[in-house]
Structure 1
Amino acid sequence: MANAWRGEVEIVVDGERHLMRLTLGALAELEAGLETGALVDLVRRFETGRCSTRDVLALIVAGLRGGGWSGTARDLLSAEIAGGPMAAAKAAAELLARAFMLPGES
């Protein structure tokens, strides 16, 4: 079960449950891989509903890697995420929000 206090978000990939978490290293890797802008720009895109599938994939990969997964974005191209693209986008947004929330905020 995901621990929201640690910023964890659960996702099921190819039938296997994973915990995602944006550690400092995962955030640095995410920011280095962004096509445009910085992490703040990514947050704005999610807040305004202008995020791309590339944004969602980048966040999912960073979160999985922060949770201990050793794969790459290429590994997810043919993977099945439970709930489909909408569930993936929701998990990515929740992951990003939890990374910047203080305990007790909602």
Structure 2
Amino acid sequence: MANRHRGEVEAVLGGRRFTLCLTLGALAELEAAFAADNLPALCARLAEGAPSTRDLIRILAAGIRGGGTALTDAEVAALPAAGELEACMRAAVALLAATFGGGEDAANP
């Protein structure tokens, strides 16, 4: 079960239930993936508001790994998307809100 006080979000993706969390390591992964030199630059990049599918995979994969499940970006990319794109987007938004602030409701989509 996700602990919103630790920035965790629970999501069902590809028919599997995951706990997602952006740990310091996951944030460092995202800085590297988005070529951001620091955390404010990462926040600015994520706030652009037009994520690609590749961005979505990176965010979800980092969150899944931060939540304790060892999946590669390729394994996350291979999760079935049919009928699940909205759930993927909601999970990513909730994860970012739980990490960077956005109220209690944002952590529980």
User: Normalising to structure 1: TM-score of the pair?
Assistant: 0.80
Q: Which residue of 2 aligns with 1:11?
A: 11
Residues 56-78 of structure 1 show CA distances to partners (whole Å, capped at 9, x for unaligned) of 11110010010111111101222
Write the distance in 1 (CA, Å) between the matches of 2:4 and 2:83: 20
Give the letter for the 2:72 counterpart: T
Which residue of the other structure, out of 21, 27, 43, is the alignment partner of 2:46?
43
Write the distance in 2 (CA, Å) between the matches of 1:17 and 1:50: 26
Write the distance in 1 (CA, Å) between the matches of 2:16 and 2:101: 27
1:79 deviates by 1.1
Q: Which residue of 2 aligns with 1:96?
A: 96
1:43 deviates by 2.7
Distance 1:102 1:96, change over 3 A: closer
Write the distance in 2 (CA, Å) between the matches of 1:89 and 1:105: 16
Residues 30-69 of structure 1 show CA distances to partners (whole Å, capped at 9, x for unaligned) of 1111157731233312xxx312212211110010010111
Deviates more, 1:95-104 or 1:22-31: 95-104
Identity %: 44
Q: Given that residues 18 and 64 in structure 1 are in contact (C-alpha distance below 8 angstroms), is that contact kept between their aligned partners in structure 2?
A: yes
Write the distance in 2 (CA, Å) between the matches of 1:27 and 1:36: 10
Gaps of 5+ in 1: none
Write the distance in 2 (CA, Å) between the matches of 1:76 and 1:58: 9
Gaps of 5+ in 2: none
Q: Which residue of 2 aligns with 1:32?
A: 32
Distance 1:105 1:87, change over 3 A: closer
Write the distance in 1 (CA, Å) between the matches of 2:76 and 2:105: 31
Q: Given that residues 7 and 21 in structure 2 are in contact (C-alpha distance below 8 angstroms), is that contact kept between their aligned partners in structure 1?
A: yes
Write the distance in 1 (CA, Å) between the matches of 2:43 and 2:98: 14
